[in-house]
Amino acid sequence: MAEPKTGPTDADVEAFLASAATPRRRDEGARLAEIFHEVTGTDPVMWGPTMVGYGSFRYISAANPRTRGTWPKTAFSPRKAQLTFYGLKDLPDGAALLPRLGTYTEGAGCIYAKKLDDLDLDVLRQLIAIAWSRRDDPEPA
């Protein structure tokens, strides 16, 4: 079984956030780091070269139970084109709350926002808390 390509690293989170492409993204990255820390109570870890992750959980793919790995419970990345959020819509409670977040688009497993001001930060905090509550996937029967 192949290992996932993205995993936790020893890279410096503050250095990564300080290197964001624009001053606005640097500011938004710093604000997001504060919000995620406030909600999770934990320090971030870089996952791969571009994801600022909080916590981790073991997963088992529903599509192929032989596919397993470890992934951050929640994460973000202040990418040049848009902010990317991970884990916010994975659980039913998060998916149900998502319409109240503000202006965003969705990918397969991500949420994208053009700017932080487009989002309701109270709803974002709730979504982070829901993602943070995630437990490891159970072993298949």
Residues near 108 by Cβ (< 8 Å), separated by ≥ 6?
none
Residue range 97-132, pLDDT digits in tens: 999 999 999 998 899 999 999 999 999 999 999 999
pLDDT band at 141 (very low <50, low <70, confident <90, very high): low
DSSP labels for 99-137?
GGSBS-EE-SSEEEES-GGGB-HHHHHHHHHHHHT--PP
Provide φ and ψ at 105, rounded to 5°. Answer: -125, 165
The pLDDT assigned to 113 comes to: 98
pLDDT at 2 > cutoff 60: no
Residue range 3-54, pLDDT digits in tens: 567 889 999 999 999 999 999 999 999 999 999 999 999 999 999 999 999 9
